[in-house]
Structure 1
Amino acid sequence: MCRGRELLPITCLERAKELKALFGSLLQKSDHTITGQLKKNDKLRLNVNEPLKWKESFEKLICSQNGLCLFRAFLVSEFSEENIAFYLACEDYRATKPSKLATKAKKIYDEFIECDAPHEVNLDHVTKAITKENMEHPSLSCFALAQAKIYTLMEKDCYPRFLRSSTYLELSRKSKTG
C-alpha cells in the first residue's frame, strides 16, 4: 500500500480547486505538462494523462498525490472524509517507532473506532471487537483488519462514485481531448 498523509496539503479543498484549474489549463499548453505554484517555493508537476490513470484502479488513485487530494476533497463533499483520514492514519501508524506505538494507537482508536468517536468510521461489531482486543498490546498490525475493511469500503463504494463525479468526469474528458 502507498503512503500519502505527509504529502497532503493543509487545505485539500483549496488544493483540489487549484488542481482542477491547473488540469483545465493543460489544454492550452503544447507540451502536456504545466508547473503550478502551490506555495511560495513549492512546485508541482502535472501530467495531462494523470486523471486517466486514476480510473485504472483505486490504488493508482490514492498513490497519486493529486489523485489522493481530489479524492479526499470528494469525500469531504460527501461527508465521509473520516474513511480516508483513518486509512492514512493507519498508514502513518505502520511507520511508527515501537516506543510510540501505544500512544499513537490510542489516539487513532479514540478518534476513529471507539463508539461515538469524533470521526467514527463504519466498521462491523466483530472488526471493532478485534481491534479493541489488539489495543491491549499495540503492534504495527493492530489496525490491519479495520484498515482493510475501510479500504474495501472506499474501493467498492466511494471510488466508483468519485469516478462518476462531475469533477473527475471533467478532468478525464479534458485529458482525453488534450
Structure 2
Amino acid sequence: MQAREQLRAAKQRRKGDRLVIACQERTYWLVNRPPPGVPSVLEQGPERGSCSARGMQMTKSFDFYRQEVACLRKALGRARVKSSVCLEAYFRFSSQRLPHDPIMTGCLPSNPWVTDDDAYWALNAPSVAVPTRLRVEQWALSFRELLEDPMGRAHFMGFLGTEFSAENLSFWEACEELRHGGQAQVPALLDAVYQQFLAPGAARWVNIDSRTTEQMLAGLGRPHRHVLDDAQLHIYMLMKKDSYPRFLKSDLYKDLLAEAVVPPETKRRVFPFTRKPRRSSPGPALLPASTSREPAGGDGEA
C-alpha cells in the first residue's frame, strides 16, 4: 500500500522535480559509499560475507588466538546449571504463585478495575481487621513477601515480641528509614539508630558480629545512608533463617490461616480462558461443625 502510494506520488511530480530527486539520491550514495576494503551489505550476500569473515580472521596475530584459546578454556571450566533444572525451578515458582496472580485466577470477590465493586481494595487494605486467606498464604512464599506487607510485618513483630527479639525487626525498619529518608536527616537518623541499637549498653541492643561492627564504626566518621547496609543484611539473614521458619510453624500463624477471610466470587471473570479461581468458597476445614453436618441431617429427614 505504501509503495503504491509513493509510486503514484512520483508519477504526479513534474519532470524537473523527478530529475532533482534522482540526482540527490545518487549524490547521497556517492558520499556515503563504504571505504575501500570494507564489506558492504548491499554488495555481498551471506556466502561472500562468511568468506570475507574467514579471510579477515586469518590475518589476526598469534596473540589474538592465544587469548581466544585461554578464554574458551576458562569458559569450559565454568560451572553451569542444566536447562532442565532451571525450567523445573521456574515451573515450581509459577505454580506456587499462580493462585496469587489476579490476571490468571481473577480477583476475589470481583475485579474493581472493570466493575463498580471496590470490595477487593477494602479486603486488601494495608490494615484490616481480618486478612484474606490468600494474603496470609502469600506471607509463606518468602520472607520478603512478609516484610513488604504492613500487616504481615505487624504480626511478625508480635511474634518476635513473644521471643524477646523484636529489636531485630525494629532495627531493620530503622535502617530502611535511614536508607530512603532525606539526605539532610541522615546524620541525625544514623546517630539515633546507633544510640538505640548498636552502642554499648543500648536499650535495644542487637547482636552484630565483630567484622560488621568494625566496618560500621569505620563508616560513622563520614555518615551516609548506606553505612548500616552490612549490619542490616546481617540482621535480615538472622531473622530469615531463624525467626521466620518458627513464625510459619507457630500457633499465631496457624490461627491467622484458620480465621482468614475467603471471599466468594460475585462477578463473572474477565478472561474466560483462565481456570476457575481457587478457594472461591470456604473449604470443609473452614466450615463450622454444625454447617458441615447439615447435608447429612437433611438427607435423613427426607
Higher relative contact order (CA closer than 8 Å, sequence separation 6+) = 1
1:104 aligns with 2:189: yes
Give the conservation status (yes or no) of the 8 Å contact 2:212–2:231.
yes
Q: Once the 2 structures are TM-superposed, how far is the Cα of residue 174 of structure 1 from its aligned partner?
A: 4.9
1:80 & 1:166 partners in 2: Cα distance? 18
> RMSD across aligned C-alpha pairs, in angstroms?
2.6
TM-score (norm 1): 0.73
Q: Hey, what does 1:136 align to over in structure 2?
A: 221
Q: Hey, what does 1:64 align to over in structure 2?
A: 149
- Using a 3 Å threshold, how does the CA distance of structure 1 residues 44 and 113 change in structure 2: closer, same or farther? same
1:95 aligns with 2:180: yes
1:150 & 1:164 partners in 2: Cα distance? 21
1:78 aligns with 2:163: yes
2:247 is matched with which residue: 139, 147, 162?
A: 162
> Identity across aligned pairs (percent)?
29
Give per-residue Cα distances to partners, 1:123-154, cap 9 Å, x unaligned: 11111111111111111100000000000000
Q: Partner amino acid for 1:117? A: A
Q: Once the 2 structures are TM-superposed, how far is the Cα of residue 56 of structure 1 from its aligned partner?
A: 0.6
Give the conservation status (yes or no) of the 8 Å contact 2:127–2:151.
no
1:44 is matched with which residue: 123, 128, 132?
A: 128
Q: Which deviates further from its counterpart, 58-67 or 93-102?
A: 93-102
1:153 & 1:163 partners in 2: Cα distance? 15
Q: Hey, what does 1:3 align to over in structure 2?
A: none
**Equivalent residues, number:** 145
Larger radius of gyration: 2
2:257 & 2:128 partners in 1: Cα distance? 19
Q: Partner amino acid for 1:44? A: V
5+ residue gaps, structure 2:
1-107, 111-118, 261-278, 287-302
Give the conservation status (yes or no) of the 8 Å contact 2:133–2:257.
no
Give per-residue Cα distances to partners, 1:35-80, cap 9 Å, x unaligned: 58xxxxx973832211111111000011111110100000111110
Q: Secondary structure at the match of 1:156?
A: helix
Q: Partner amino acid for 2:197? A: F
Q: Once the 2 structures are TM-superposed, how far is the Cα of residue 112 of structure 1 from its aligned partner?
A: 0.6
Q: Once the 2 structures are TM-superposed, how far is the Cα of residue 88 of structure 1 from its aligned partner?
A: 0.2
TM-score (norm 2): 0.44
Structure in which a larger fraction of residues adopt strand: 1
2:161 & 2:199 partners in 1: Cα distance? 21
Q: Once the 2 structures are TM-superposed, how far is the Cα of residue 98 of structure 1 from its aligned partner?
A: 1.9
1:55 & 1:106 partners in 2: Cα distance? 35
Q: Secondary structure at the match of 1:104?
A: helix
Q: Which deviates further from its counterpart, 94-103 or 136-145?
A: 94-103
